[in-house]
Amino acid sequence: LAKTTQPISMDSYEGQEVNITCSHNNIATNDYITWYQQFPSQGPRFIIQGYKTKVTNEVASLFIPADRKSSTLSLPRVSLSDTAVYYCLVGDTGRRALTFGSGTRLQVQP
């Protein structure tokens, strides 16, 4: 299983762009990279998923370099409601469950 490393916490202000980087040096060929957001007492919410290069949806962008050993979740213009824990997960979900690391606790200040 690919192990992931993320910063434990980050602070930002409303309106700023936030980039959270995750390293996964032993990512396997069939592994996808998925990011989830979790608020207290709620289940994780799917944000974005990618395999390589760049993926963008209505809430975030995911940047994956060619070697796929890291990935960066980019949240444009964060608001107070983006305060949450963000998890980077790497795995072949066709074969195995996803294993959670410690996540990144993002605190957005006014």
Partner 1 sequence: GAVVSQHPSWVICKSGTSVKIECRSLDFQATTMFWYRQFPKQSLMLMATSNEGSKATYEQGVEKDKFLINHASLTLSTLTVTSAHPEDSSFYICSAKDRLSGNTIYFGEGSWLTVV
Q: Which residues bind partner 1 (CB under 8 A)?
A: 32, 34, 36, 41-46, 49, 87, 93-94, 97-103
In degrees, rounded to 5, the angle at the alpha carbon of residue 95 between the alpha carbons of residues 91 and 96 is 60
Closest separation between CB of residue 42 and partner 1, Å?
A: 6
Q: Distance from first CA to last CA of the chain, Å, rounded?
A: 38
User: Cα(13)–Cα(23) distance, rounded to whole angstroms?
Assistant: 24
Closest separation between CB of residue 69 and partner 1, Å?
A: 19
Nearer to partner 1 among residue 26 and residue 102 (C-beta): 102
User: Cα(14)–Cα(30) distance, rounded to whole angstroms?
Assistant: 37
Nearer to partner 1 among residue 37 and residue 70 (C-beta): 37
Nearer to partner 1 among residue 58 and residue 110 (C-beta): 58
